[in-house]
Amino acid sequence: MKSLTLNSLLLLCPLILYSCKESAIVVADCILPSERESQDHDPSLEDGQESLCLLPAREPSANLTATLTLQDFSLQDEMKMEKAIERLKIVINSVAFKNRVLNHTYNGQKTFVDNEGLTNQEIYDKVMLGSEVLIPGNDEEMDLDITLYYANNSVVGYTYPDTTRVWTNDKFFSTYTYAQVAQNVVHEWIHKLGFGHDYNRTTRRNYSVPYGIGTIIKDLIEEMTPQVNQDIAQNNK
What is the model's pLDDT at position 229?
61
Q: What percent of the chain has pLDDT over 90?
A: 73
What is the model's pLDDT at position 231?
63
What is the model's pLDDT at position 27?
74
DSSP state of 108: T
* Domain 9-38+53-228 indexed as CATH 3.40.390: yes
Q: Three-class SS of residue 225?
A: coil
Average of per-residue pLDDT across 70-97 = 98
What is the model's pLDDT at position 230?
61
User: Beta 105-106 vs 165-169: how paired, if at all?
Assistant: unpaired
The dihedral through the CA atoms of 92, 97, 98, 102 has a sign that is negative
Rounded to two decimals, the pTM is: 0.84
pLDDT score of 9 more than 50: no
- Write the pLDDT tens digit of every residue in 107-117: 999 999 999 99
pLDDT score of 228 more than 90: no
| Distance from C-alpha of 199 to C-alpha of 15, rounded to nearest angstrom | 10
Domain ranges for the chain: 9-38+53-228
Residue with the larger pLDDT of the pair 19 and 132: 132
Contacts of residue 52, Cβ cutoff 8 Å, sequence gap at least 6: 30, 31, 32, 33, 36, 226
